[in-house]
């Protein structure tokens, strides 16, 4: 079984080295990849047989070097001019298959002989085969993801994947089951490799999107269940802690993190952006709508009156004010949050819950999950160039009380 491992390891080593050689040279080799690898492994197998025959007559590792003599002679014959003439005749008369195999024969002999010498001459060969496969795995994965090669475009890529799988499984069970008396024989893994070779390979990659979506749904359901259980028990405990994006005199919570549960659900009509025309480019631009929430304030009519006074003092009419502000409605639903505060948008005009008006910013009882506030507020686009220009040109606010009949709203 060691010889089988040796052949599989040699194929994997030569295939990866050939890819690295092409990357270094930055050009493709002049001989076909599949026929070259077939020729290399043929030379390697031939040298293994010669080594076995010579071992009957010569003891020790000298049999390996004696088995290299035919390979050296064949290489020298191919280097002479007559051999080149023979190769040209073969390419022209024996058909394209033999011609393709003849191309790169000298390099194939060198590669096969070098692999045979390397794998036989190294000390502690079993340990090298056992742990060296992980180096080949890392090299193959690195080449695939960094250079985009070994992607299954050639049959040798598939064989490389199967051989690496067989050798890796065998090495893992040797390492993990080293103390056991009877590990799995190597031919078990050879059978796995034979099954993988027999199974047809898909040309199109497998679409894992349904599997990923199913996994995300399972994770979402589990996370939601954990949030509901945690929320239920934290509400029962008097000293339960919570996270909040705001604080007030009555409630203070920890800082909101990305991993925290959803605390507020906002529902509003209209587009989530403002549109204005850029004078420099004469194009319509979009600016995201910003909604600022505050807890414990309630209806913020004083801020609205101050803003209206500012508009009156700068002689802003209804059409001008509509460029950067409007009356909007939003529904604020409490999710995983326990607080007596009424959380509502800044510049709120009126707040209501279940058809009843909300007075004040703090309730007498605790609001829990499902509590909903319907807010009507003044939606001001503070990033609007019209409002920014108004701030720049504004003077002192007039002390005269504006009339509600002339209000922009």
Q: Decide if pLDDT at 374 tops 90.
A: yes
Residue 399 near residue 310 (C-beta atoms within 8 A):
no
Confidence of residue 91 (pLDDT cuts 50, 70, 90): very low
Q: Is there a domain that residue 9 lies in?
A: yes
156 and 301, same structural domain?
no
Domains: count for the chain: 2
Helix (H) or strand (E) holding 352: strand 348-353
272 and 189, same structural domain?
no
For residue range 172-188, what is the model confidence (pLDDT) as tens digits?
887 777 666 666 777 77
Q: Decide if pLDDT at 390 tops 80.
A: yes
281 and 174, same structural domain?
no
Say which range, 130-139, 228-237, 292-301, 341-350, has the weakest mean pLDDT: 228-237
181 and 32, same structural domain?
yes
The label of the residue with tokens 């913020």 reads: 300
For residue range 20-69, what is the model confidence (pLDDT) as tens digits?
877 777 655 555 667 777 777 777 777 777 777 777 776 666 666 666 67
Single out the residue of 404, 335, 397 nearest to residue 371, CA to CA.
335
Cα 380 from Cα 374, distance rounded (Å): 18
Single out the residue of 192, 172, 156, 179 nearest to residue 40, CA to CA.
156
Q: Is there a domain that residue 245 lies in?
A: no
Confidence of residue 351 (pLDDT cuts 50, 70, 90): very high
282 and 186, same structural domain?
no
Q: Decide if pLDDT at 130 tops 70.
A: yes
Q: Is there a domain that residue 153 lies in?
A: yes
Q: Report which of residues 112 and 310 the model is more confident about.
A: 310
Can you give the pLDDT at residue 194? Answer: 79
Share of the chain above pLDDT 90, in %: 3
Q: Report which of residues 105 and 356 the model is more confident about.
A: 356
When pLDDT is averaged across residues 326-333 and rounded to a whole number, the result is 90
166 and 88, same structural domain?
yes
103 and 194, same structural domain?
yes
Q: Decide if pLDDT at 92 tops 60.
A: no
Can you give the pLDDT at residue 373? Answer: 92
Look at residues 177, 198, 219 and tell me which one is the last residue of a structural domain: 198
Look at residues 145, 166, 198 and tell me which one is the last residue of a structural domain: 198
Confidence of residue 101 (pLDDT cuts 50, 70, 90): very low
392 and 273, same structural domain?
yes
**Tokens found for residue 158:** 């598939």
Q: Is there a domain that residue 146 lies in?
A: yes
271 and 182, same structural domain?
no
Q: Decide if pLDDT at 278 tops 80.
A: no
307 and 166, same structural domain?
no
Can you give the pLDDT at residue 376? Answer: 92
Structural domain boundaries enclosing 113: 2-198
Can you give the pLDDT at residue 399? Answer: 42
Q: Is there a domain that residue 167 lies in?
A: yes
Q: Decide if pLDDT at 82 tops 70.
A: no
Confidence of residue 372 (pLDDT cuts 50, 70, 90): very high
Q: Decide if pLDDT at 332 tops 70.
A: yes
When pLDDT is averaged across residues 234-242 and rounded to a whole number, the result is 52
Look at residues 198, 222, 237 and tell me which one is the last residue of a structural domain: 198
187 and 277, same structural domain?
no
**Where on the phi/psi map is residue 103: left (φ > 0), alpha (ψ -120 to 50), or beta?**
beta
Q: Is there a domain that residue 248 lies in?
A: no
**Tokens found for residue 383:** 């990033």
Q: Is there a domain that residue 175 lies in?
A: yes
383 and 269, same structural domain?
yes
Q: Decide if pLDDT at 210 tops 80.
A: yes
What DSSP line would sit under 286-337, residue for residue? Answer: EEE----EEES----HHHHHHHHHHHHHTT--HHHHTTTEEEEEEEEEE-S-
Confidence of residue 158 (pLDDT cuts 50, 70, 90): confident
**Where on the phi/psi map is residue 270: left (φ > 0), alpha (ψ -120 to 50), or beta?**
left
* Mean of per-residue pLDDT scores for the chain: 74
Q: Is there a domain that residue 208 lies in?
A: no
pTM above 0.75, yes or no: no
Say which range, 30-39, 213-222, 285-294, 388-397, has the weakest mean pLDDT: 30-39
Share of the chain above pLDDT 70, in %: 68
């Amino acid at each position: 079984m060691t010889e089988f491992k040796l052949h599989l390891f040699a194929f994997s080593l030569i295939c990866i080295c050939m890819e690295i050689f092409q990357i270094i040279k930055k050009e493709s080799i002049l001989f076909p990849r599949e026929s070259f690898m077939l020729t290399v492994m043929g030379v390697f197998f031939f040298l293994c047989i010669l080594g076995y025959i010579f071992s009957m007559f010569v003891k020790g590792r000298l049999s390996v070097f004696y088995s290299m003599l035919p390979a050296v002679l064949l290489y020298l014959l191919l280097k002479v001019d007559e051999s080149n003439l023979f190769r040209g005749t073969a390419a022209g008369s024996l058909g394209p298959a033999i011609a393709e195999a003849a191309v790169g024969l000298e390099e194939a002999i060198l590669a096969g002989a070098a692999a045979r010498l390397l794998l036989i001459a190294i000390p502690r060969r079993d340990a090298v085969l056992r742990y060296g496969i992980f180096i080949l795995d890392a090299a193959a994965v690195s080449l695939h993801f960094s250079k985009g090669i070994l992607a299954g475009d050639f049959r040798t890529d598939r064989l490389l994947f199967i051989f690496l799988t067989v050798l890796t499984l065998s090495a893992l069970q040797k390492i993990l089951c080293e103390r056991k008396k009877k590990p799995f024989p190597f031919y078990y893994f050879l059978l796995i490799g034979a099954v993988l070779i027999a199974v047809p390979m898909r040309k199109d990659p497998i679409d894992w999107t349904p599997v990923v979506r199913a996994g995300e749904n399972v994770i979402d359901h589990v996370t939601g269940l954990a949030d509901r259980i945690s929320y239920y028990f934290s509400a029962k405990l008097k000293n339960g802690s919570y996270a909040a994006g705001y604080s007030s005199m009555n409630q203070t919570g920890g800082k909101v993190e990305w991993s925290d549960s959803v605390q507020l659900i906002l529902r509003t009509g209209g587009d989530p952006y403002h549109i204005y025309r850029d004078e420099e480019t004469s194009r319509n631009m979009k600016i995201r709508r910003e909604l600022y929430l505050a807890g414990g304030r309630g209806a913020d009519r004083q801020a609205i009156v101050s803003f209206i006074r500012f508009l009156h003092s700068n002689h802003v009419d209804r059409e001008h004010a509509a460029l950067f502000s409007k009356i909007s409605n939003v529904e604020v639903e409490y999710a995983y949050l326990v607080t007596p505060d009424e959380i509502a948008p800044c510049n709120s005009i009126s707040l209501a819950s279940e058809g009843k008006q909300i007075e004040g910013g703090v309730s007498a009882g605790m609001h829990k999950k499902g509590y909903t506030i319907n807010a009507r507020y003044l939606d001001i686009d503070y990033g609007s160039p019209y409002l920014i220009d108004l701030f720049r040109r504004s003077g002192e606010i007039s002390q005269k009380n504006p009339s509600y009949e002339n209000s922009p709203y």
